[in-house]
Amino acid sequence: MHQDTQIVGVDPGLVHTGVVTLAFLPKMRQVLTAHQVVQGLDAPAVAGVIDELCPQRGVPASIYVEGYRSRGNLGHDKDMLIAVRDMVAATKGKALDNTGVKKTVKPAVLQALGVWKFSTPTHHDDLRSAARIAVLGMLKEHNELLADVIRDYLDGRPWRVV
């Protein structure tokens, strides 16, 4: 049996930064999800939102921040690179390269985890991107837990998503 696990995905954006949390409670077969949008690239605000949204006090969260690759847009590139660095430092998270994330993290997985659609609109689907980066982090570091949740879902015994 797995222990309670909290996963956080952060998608930094010039307009909106998406934050999505997933708390896995294996004994109860539940996934608690929460999300919030931060205006702009405010690393301290993102860290504060993560503290607010993570329901399991005393259970450390695995935090994944979507990395940024320079695209030759000099003004925004510098801002984004600094923002990712600052968010990783403020949250004690890890930056993950998002290359190929849409092919790796399929919509059906996000749907099974309850993080495909969000009630809060964002500039570039930032919440879905944050959810994808959280699941990508799970594939790298919490693969067995994710596999168990998805296997149960496919076997017709889905975990309750709240």
What CATH number is associated with residue 20?
3.30.420.10
Range of the domain at 76: 5-161
Predicted TM-score (pTM) of the model is 0.94
CA distances from 159 to 50, 114, 150 (A): 23, 10, 9
Q: How many separate domains does the chain show?
A: 1
pLDDT tens across 87-122, in order?
999 999 999 999 999 999 999 999 999 999 998 888
Cα gap 58→51, rounded to integer Å: 11
Q: Pick from 52, 31, 33, 38: which is nearest to 10 by CA? A: 38
CA distances from 39 to 13, 21, 92, 123 (A): 8, 17, 20, 10
